Structure 1
Amino acid sequence: MIDQFALPLVIFCAVFWASSVGLLILSVFAAIIHPRVVVRRGTRKDQPPVSIVLPVKTLDRGFARAQESALAQLYPQFEAIASAAEAASPAVSTMREIFARHPQIETRILHSTARFAASPKVDNLFRPFNDAANDVILMKDSNIVLEPDDLAETMRHLKDGIGMVCGIPYASAPTNFAAHVEAAIMNGPHQRMLFAASAAGHGFGVGKIMLFRRSDFLRAGGFAAIAHTVGEDNATAKALSRIGLKTVFSHRLVRQELGLRTFRDLYERQLRWSVVRRDDEILSFLAEPFCQALPSFAASLVVAPLAGLSPLCGLSVTFGLWLTLEMLLSIVKGWPLSWYAPAVFLTREATMLAVWLHAWTATRVVWAQATIDTRAAAGDTVAPAPLPVAKEEG
């Protein structure tokens, strides 16, 4: 018999465990069927000219490979614009070298001097977004490696009624334990939730790549609509939604090669994203424990006796289910999987729970080695009017 005072706790744990395990199974299934379901929605046939915008900050490992992949697109007509807050830097010099290797493509490097937004990235995007020769813009982060047909495949989804198309990122090529943990985070619960949302026809602003029309962006409020937050991708999706345009995910994933990682960088990056969700998507933030294994493990200890199992047996079954399904998904998708996957899994879960708890009170986040105070957001700041832009031919 269950003590009457313990009954509410047992009921809560039972509902939590069932919900958490249900989301795990549903999201793994959604991740598997996602490409087949979503590819059918990409029905656009024409390929309008595109301006590819490449914001530049630090020269990280794999920078040249990732940025050059944008110039290798099998697409009829596009230009490439790199922008940086620094007039000269190792990253800018590398971009100049990359552009020089592609004289057949119209390229230029812009020095971004705008300083009006909460996010330095938004400041850096102001000039290239205004200076782009084409209405359709593809923004790509410097750590994303594109396949030659990614632009063409993503364009299939930019149809009437669609304001922005994003790509769900996945991690590849981790080379140390911390990188494997970050790969497990990227390819784990949050990504599976994106797969589930996408399979159901929904999308969110995920800024690894964003394909949109500048005319729609300006009609939705332009930079004034996204200057207040460090989560400019989600803010853009929300602004477009307010004028009746959906954000969707492409059927094509985008690859981020990790290489070496440190736990400090990993933690700071995850904390930044968690704080963005706290500030901009509070319901998603509050629901995160349902997508994490450790809370599910704790609930299994309480619920197991209801099924005639010992708490330790219930914990073992829940642990085995989570680990097995995630490993099977990684095998099906061809994602990184090491012989020490159980240790990576447990480290990931401990990290994600610690980040979520920290995010409740965090007010400072790190972006590109710069510390940003989220309380100093430029909520009422209006973006400056477009100015003449000095162009530097690549």
Structure 2
Amino acid sequence: MEPTFAAALFSIALLLSNLASILLASLKLKRAARIASPAATVPPVSIVVPARGVEPFTEETLERAFSLDWPRYELIFCIAHADDPVVKSITTAMARFPAIRARLLVGDDRISGNPKLNNCVKGWEAALYRWVILADSNVLMPSDYVQQLMAAWRPDTGLVCSTPIGSRPEGFWGEVECAFLNTLQARWQYAGEALGLGFAQGKSMLWNKPMLDANGGIRALAAEIAEDAAATKLVNRLGLRVNLVASPFEQPLGRRTLGEIWSRQARWARLRRVTFALFFAPEILIGAAPPLLLALIAAADAGVSLPATAIAVLVAAYLPECALAWVKGWHLSLRTILAMMVRDCMLPAIWARGWLSGAVDWRGNVMTIQTKAVAELEETPSGA
């Protein structure tokens, strides 16, 4: 096969796979719509919320958590240190909504190198009910939050999750964060579920507590550095499925910086690399950069206009992404396509960073992300 033809064919194949992932995701995703109020007989739910620090939307996310349309639920807020500034926000919200059972637990159970999981342990063990939701503090819960999670549970389900959908970005880097979260990461996660490859996402996780407790409890999620990776493997090992909610939940972003985006994406890349290396390896082919480069190589060799080729590839890559966001009611703006282009320029560097060792930052916590085998080797005493 001639190199020119091979490059053109590979470019087309990548663009078609990009389009296929968007179509698959669109089949699983539904535009946000209000679910009817539940019957009084629905089971009670415990919602465990690990928190650290005050964020721009903390007051709003707390108010939403206390305003859910579910007959009986408890909120268990978990913080590692009593001097955390978020304590004041939480106690104020608890005082404003005395009708909702809520507790604030303080302590740091070091069961893993994952600070969020360590923070959740005390909440899980204190939960009163058989249905437990682990919910990040920056999730903007809709009033039917519990209904949507429960609606995704099936007889063969082991876990229900939701990936975050970015909203309300401020500034250009907030737009880039939206481009990462929405039409890239959420899209591929839902496409994976459509293919029977459901992966857990730690933003919102609905567990049947007796089921998980019978298989090691929350401490079993310390088997991997990422609790969602450990959850995925545990559920698959039990012959059950990870399901995603039909309409993923919103995460308001506010202002972001390039450094914040790089730190977060590099951390997630490294986590995917050490937990699911076979799925991570092909990520170098995601985004518009690989098909664009291949198409330009083929066009240059064939004497075809390079600007026209570039425009054709970018339209084929980004128009379906924008259509997905528009159809599902996600954030779109005049800067969206430029943000997607910047995102795709960052993807190869982020992928390369995923293969490198070294410490990464998680909200002020320095984490050394490595494979389980390496960790066990380093923990083995010398001479053992």
Instruction: Verify same fold: TM over 0.5.
Output: yes
- Could you say which residue in structure 1 is the equivalent of 2:18? 24
- Could you say which residue in structure 2 is the equivalent of 1:387? none
- Could you say which residue in structure 2 is the equivalent of 1:148? 143
How far the C-alpha of 1:228 sits from its partner, in A, is: 4.2
How far the C-alpha of 1:304 sits from its partner, in A, is: 3.8
Distance of aligned partners of 1:242 and 1:304 in 2 relative to their CA distance in 1, 3 Å threshold: same
The whole-number CA distance in structure 2 between the counterparts of 1:192 and 1:326 is 9
Q: Which amino acid aligns with 1:283?
A: L
The percent identity for this pair of structures is 28
- Could you say which residue in structure 2 is the equivalent of 1:53? 48
Q: Does 1:334 align with 2:318?
A: no
Say which is worse superposed, 70-79 or 356-365, in terms of deviation: 356-365
Distance of aligned partners of 1:299 and 1:246 in 2 relative to their CA distance in 1, 3 Å threshold: same
Of 213, 217, 225 in structure 1, the residue corresponding to residue 208 of structure 2 is: 213
Preserved CA contact (<8 Å) 2:169 2:178:
yes
Q: CA offsets, 1:188-218, max 9 Å, x none?
A: 3222111212334542110110001122212
Q: Does 1:136 align with 2:136?
A: no
Report how many aligned residue pairs link the two structures. 371
How far the C-alpha of 1:15 sits from its partner, in A, is: 4.8
Distance of aligned partners of 1:232 and 1:11 in 2 relative to their CA distance in 1, 3 Å threshold: farther
How far the C-alpha of 1:363 sits from its partner, in A, is: 2.3
How far the C-alpha of 1:353 sits from its partner, in A, is: 1.9
Structure 2: gaps spanning 5 or more residues? 378-384
- Could you say which residue in structure 1 is the equivalent of 2:174? 179
How far the C-alpha of 1:331 sits from its partner, in A, is: 2.3
Say which is worse superposed, 268-277 or 105-114, in terms of deviation: 105-114
Equivalent residues in 2 for 1:335-350 (5 A)? 335-350=330-345
Of 185, 191, 194 in structure 2, the residue corresponding to residue 196 of structure 1 is: 191
Distance of aligned partners of 1:183 and 1:96 in 2 relative to their CA distance in 1, 3 Å threshold: same
How far the C-alpha of 1:55 sits from its partner, in A, is: 0.4
Preserved CA contact (<8 Å) 2:4 2:302:
no
Distance of aligned partners of 1:368 and 1:36 in 2 relative to their CA distance in 1, 3 Å threshold: closer
How far the C-alpha of 1:224 sits from its partner, in A, is: 4.1
- Could you say which residue in structure 1 is the equivalent of 2:261? 266
Equivalent residues in 2 for 1:49-198 (5 A)? 49-198=44-193
Q: Which amino acid aligns with 2:15?
A: V
Q: Does 1:358 align with 2:353?
A: yes
Preserved CA contact (<8 Å) 1:228 1:379:
no
Preserved CA contact (<8 Å) 2:30 2:247:
no
- Could you say which residue in structure 1 is the equivalent of 2:7? 13
How far the C-alpha of 1:152 sits from its partner, in A, is: 1.0
How far the C-alpha of 1:130 sits from its partner, in A, is: 0.8
Partner SS state of residue 207, structure 2: strand
- Could you say which residue in structure 1 is the equivalent of 2:308? 313
Partner SS state of residue 97, structure 1: helix
The whole-number CA distance in structure 1 between the counterparts of 2:197 and 2:285 is 20
Structure 1: gaps spanning 5 or more residues? 382-394
Q: CA offsets, 1:27-60, max 9 Å, x none?
A: 2223333235999xxxx99731110001011111
The whole-number CA distance in structure 2 between the counterparts of 1:176 and 1:230 is 32
- Could you say which residue in structure 2 is the equivalent of 1:391? none
Q: Does 1:370 align with 2:373?
A: no
Q: Which amino acid aligns with 2:245?
A: S
Q: CA offsets, 1:338-383, max 9 Å, x none?
A: 32334322211112221111221142121112211124969569xx
Preserved CA contact (<8 Å) 2:274 2:371:
no
Partner SS state of residue 133, structure 1: coil
Q: Does 1:35 align with 2:29?
A: yes
The whole-number CA distance in structure 1 between the counterparts of 2:148 and 2:251 is 18
Preserved CA contact (<8 Å) 1:157 1:165:
yes
- Could you say which residue in structure 2 is the equivalent of 1:303? 298
Distance of aligned partners of 1:130 and 1:379 in 2 relative to their CA distance in 1, 3 Å threshold: farther
Say which is worse superposed, 25-34 or 71-80, in terms of deviation: 25-34
Q: Does 1:243 align with 2:238?
A: yes
The whole-number CA distance in structure 2 between the counterparts of 1:269 and 1:190 is 13
Say which is worse superposed, 284-293 or 328-337, in terms of deviation: 328-337
CA RMSD after TM alignment: 2.6
Preserved CA contact (<8 Å) 2:162 2:245:
yes
